[in-house]
Copies of this chain bind each other. A is one copy, B any other.
Amino acid sequence: MANLEILSENRTFGGQTRFMQHRSSSTACDMTFAVYEPPQAQKQRVPILYWLSGLTCNAENFTIKAGAQRFASQHGLMLVVPDTSPRNTGIEGEDDADELGSGAGFYVNATTDKWRTHYQMYDYVTQELPDLIKAQFNVDGERESVFGHSMGGHGALVCALRNPGRYRSVSAFAPVCAPTEIGLGQQAFLAYLGEDRDAWASYDTHLLLEHATERLPILVDQGADDEFISALLPQKLAEACETYGHDLTLRMQPGYDHSYYFISTFMEEHMAYHADALTV
């Protein structure tokens, strides 16, 4: 595979879990991602399901902890798990904070001088990486869905809302629903996008819902005991869906927190949800 290095490969549920690295043109650095190739891909083109991870994560967290390969194997889905940011770019202070820079790309295309050369994560996850996957694996590029967690739940919803018709389904675990309304999101958007509030709005789910031209149903699981719930604002998602007529299934799960223990618990249902949309 040109420009694509296999870092590791482990047989899992009859398929292969691989960590891979490539030189990315959109982020101008080496990017690592994980992919699970289900056994069905040996015989036929399979649909693609993207997972976008949360703050501080890389491709490992989901791949090791979520237990998704079991269901990807069962349903015949290719899982694609990008990193959450460029790494080792040389940008000053890129590793200094959990909330900005490495591990915190927020799935936006940065426009500020400091970040724009590398932090083009929106283009990376919606264009460059999908193009690479479609060129290199036995997938059906017309069948794609996306889901994610926390900052990656925000990413999944934003990708779906900005690309009507592109994804067959979207879901999220504990997504950041209104990044322009919380300090964490404001700080990141100011750094990456400057003062341009229209740009901020173009990456905010609860604002995007007003003008969305598609009515893709949205499935969200949210731990009722999530320690970060004040930064997630699921009520803003619920209000916007109610106001603008979007079909939201928001399930508050009593006792669950923000961890992958929560995610793993409801993974089977999310995988079945996407399989239903991808395999019709």
Residues of B within 8 A of A261 (CB): 10-12, 17, 69
A197 interfacial by beta-carbon distance below 8 Å = no
Q: Is A91 an interface residue (CB 8 A)?
A: no
The complex places the Cα of A14 from the Cα of B256 at a distance, in Å, of 9
CA distance A259 to B19 in the complex (A): 14
Within 8 A of B (CB), among A1-52: 10-14, 17
The reply to whether A11 and B264 form a contact with Cβ atoms under 8 Å apart is no
- CB < 8 Å neighbour of A70 from B69, B223, B260, B264: B264
A262 proximal to B (CB < 8 A): yes
Are the C-beta atoms of A10 and B262 separated by less than 8 Å?
yes
- Contacts A64-B64, A225-B11 given: A69-B264 contact, CB under 8 Å? yes
Chain A count of residues within 8 A CB distance of the other chain = 23
> At the interface, yes or no: A93 with Cβ under 8 Å from chain B?
no
In the complex, A255 has a CB within 8 A of chain B: yes
In the assembled complex, the Cα of A256 lies from the Cα of B223 at a distance in Å of 35
Query: Please, which residue of chain B has its CB at the minimum distance from the CB of A268?
Result: B70
Give the shortest distance, in Å, between A118 (CB) and chain B (any CB).
31
CA distance A245 to B251 in the complex (A): 54
> Which residues of B are found within 8 Å of A65, using beta-carbon distances?
64-65
* A63-81 near B? 1/0 per residue, CB < 8 Å: 0110101100000000000
Q: Is the CB of B257 within 8 A of A11?
A: yes
B10 close to A259 (CB less than 8 A)? yes
Task: Note all chain B residues with C-beta closer than 8 A to A257.
Answer: 10-11
CB distance from A71 to the nearest CB of B (A): 11
A265 within 8 A of B: yes
- Minimum CB–CB distance from A35 to chain B (whole Å) comes to 13
CB neighbours (8 Å) of A17 from chain B are 261
B11:A255 contact, CB within 8 angstroms: yes
CB distance from A222 to the nearest CB of B (A): 13
Q: Give A contacts to B, CB under 8 Å.
A: 10-14, 17, 64-65, 67, 69-70, 223, 225, 255-257, 259-262, 264-265, 268
Nearest 7 A-B pairs (CB), nearest first? A10-B261, A12-B261, A11-B255, A67-B67, A11-B256, A13-B265, A10-B259
A selection of 22 A-B contacts at a CB cut-off of 8 Å is A10-B259, A10-B261, A10-B262, A11-B223, A11-B225, A11-B256, A11-B257, A11-B265, A12-B261, A12-B264, A13-B264, A13-B265, A14-B265, A17-B261, A64-B65, A65-B65, A67-B67, A67-B70, A69-B261, A69-B264, A70-B264, A70-B268
